[in-house]
Structure 1
Amino acid sequence: MTTTRFAPSPTGWLHIGNLRAALMNYAIARQNGGTFILRIDDTDQERSKEEYVDGIKDSLTWLGFDWDRIERQSERLDRYLAAKEKLIEMGRLYECFETPTELDLKRKKQLNMGKPPVYDRAALNLSEDEKNRLREERGGSHWRFKLDWERIEWEDGILGPISIDAASVSDPVLIKDSGQILYTLASVVDDTEFGITDVVRGSDHVTNTATQIQIIQALGGAVPRFAHHSLLTGPDGEKLSKRLGNLALRDLREQGIEPMAITSLMARLGSSDPVELRGDLSEVVAGFDVSKFGAAPTKFDPADLEPLTARVNAAKPFATVAGDVAALGVPDTVAEQFWSVVRENITYLSDMAPWWDVFTGKAQADVAEEDAEFVATALSMLGEPPYTAETWGSWTGAVKEATGRKGKGLFMPLRKAVTGQARGPEMADVMALMQVKPAV
């Protein structure tokens, strides 16, 4: 059975970059009637916070995701320690004592000599007496997985055939000096024991995947199908990482971006298929195809979420926004009429408020100096409300007759005088909702 997972670390708010992996893994599981696991990678106890765990769940639920079960790495430390002991017994995990400064000096020396900055396995040559002395002197040690120096190959679901020479990669650290189990080991143990069949993650994990394949094989697990999606950049190709603080899903939600705008865009961004606005997450899943995604960095512009959000909101029936309309103080007698008039002229639901200001005479008129006299004359010819859909036509007809103005010179100054804007709903509909006579 197909089993996938999304594995965020609760060290910050879930952001748009995380969502690509979540959506792709979710889609693969749901398309195949499989299992989708939400795995909280919280082995870093210093940085992990419960509020971020809650935030991850809230953001995913808001987007329409569900999960078949949730796992927390902090509750599985015994399984990781068992794997540690097994790897030590196999001679595949060895103790190291270099400090970060010493490792940095080694890397610089190798680079100066024109060699790749790969760990030299010096710790393997230490005697037991030397190890005991270093333990006493330094008070801690870290553990590295001993790679078999051979080519590691797999057929990537997005990148195609991948082949990495393990000799060109440093033996990965699996356990820190502090005793913290690192992602590379914990993830392998989880993927093996949970029966994960498919893993989609960012292309920055490609080398990590190579080393994890060997660890999986050493522990006797089945290697999942891997696919590595491209990384997001800003609209001008700049690194998105510097802007992720503004792209947390909870911030986009607060801004008024609609969930289906986000998932519809992210399900196609970077693929060969055009972006199509979907009605719900099941439609997004049905149209998803991981093989259509490319390897090139994918440009993401948050502004692209706005027109999609506008379309989502415009399609909403009145019943779903009745509460938002009522909160503006719109009387029940015109509430549904108000929504039908403004729905095509907003991006966010919060954009309804300025329109109600127009209808209640609180909006600022926009009248050019050269049109001031004309507008004053026109308004003197307009009676008091209530108005109807016929008011605009009869009023502008009378003004045209009296002033000789016509076309844009007639209609645009009056539109700006009534609404304060150069565009918007049909003026016949606007006039029918005016609660007070426009004033300049």
Structure 2
Amino acid sequence: MNKLFSPARSAFVASVWGVMGLLASTGAWAQTAAPTTSNRQADFIVAVVNSEPITNRDVQVLRQRLANEAAARGGNRPDASELTRLALDQLINEKAQMQQAREAGIKIDSEAIDQAELNVAASNQLTREEMHKRLAQDGIALSSFREQLRTQLTLSRLREREIEGRVRVSDLEVEQFLREQLKAQAAQVPAQLNLGMILIAVPENSSEAAVQAFGERAADVARRARAGENFAELAKAVSQATDRGANGGEMGLRPADRYPELFLDATRNLKTGEVSAPVRSAAGFHILKVLERRQANTLLVTQTRARHILLRPSAQMSQAQAVAKLTEVRQAVVSGKADFAAVARQMSQDGSAQQGGDLGWANPGMFVPEFEQVMNRLRPGQVAEPLVSRFGVHLIEVTDRRNAPMSDQEQRTMARNALREKKLDEAYAAWVEDIRGRAYVEMREPPQ
């Protein structure tokens, strides 16, 4: 199952490969086919960046690609004028950056482009030869495709050279970040609370006089506890709870939201060791003592436990056949006619098969994105429709989910990565503005 785990990559490299994945899809690439003769005749220069032109055709191509990418992400699609502005702006920035890359002597060799081709093909579940056929079917010259890869790799290498080496995260920044995260978590994650309780029961249909007498008795017990009498001994002696005061009335450390709201209201302003006034419920009068409050002093991470069945397409079984097979398996599992673990042991083509497909507890980011996105949408007990990933066809079931404390090392690594990503984004934005500001940009005719 190791191949499912996602390798760490820089923010810039990740963004480049994300763009390439979109470029490699039919929808995003179809508009890059060579323009017709009439289009060439109508083409014109819309801007010049340090003597290098940007044509109306360049803007049209990128505008369509941005539109396709927005559609693939879902949500509101920018209007045509906004897409045109974004496309022209991106082309100007890209042109200025490519000029700087040439000045810096950055070159991408054929071997790097070959590897990029393989990565794009794999991310789209295609062999390199199948991808070439797809490009040809869409009227896209292989040379144009490889030139786009060269551009993306050049820009990535320039950004890594100009920005990544300059970004530093100090230990002091890590500590401050963790303090802020813990404070934010405390506002969302309930504290752990341990209460002691003494119950003075009030039988049903008790008269007002009887209820008053029980109330006075409860008030007396509360006074004794507040005066310093041992709460646990009082609970054993007088509590009428189901356990008759066993464990000294201690209810156990648990998330505060697992206590009745009545108890939380009565103890909200009490310090550890303090005793509440009697509070009335349908069962009777409760005297409560705060035995322990524990706020989480470590960050929590949502972990998911899942299992899967993996079928790898081959000459004997096509991808479509694998999807159809796992669709049948899902129907059998969901209807109760088959056991997921038993089927996984029998047919899964993955190292987890012997464990019934169990992948163990996983932190966010441990699996490749396409797998994790589907997994994260499932509730425990749900089985997803078959998923096609770069490794084959999966059937995924989530068995459990929990919030688990992160180790000190995990917290510090998370903090340092988050801070570095933020600084990289800020440094990148400033760097783009600087390059744009130093470039001579002449706007010609508005793009159409």
State the TM-score bracket (shorter-chain normalisation): under 0.3
Please identify which structure carries the higher strand content: 2
Give the TM-score taking structure 1 as reference length: 0.23
Give the TM-score taking structure 2 as reference length: 0.23
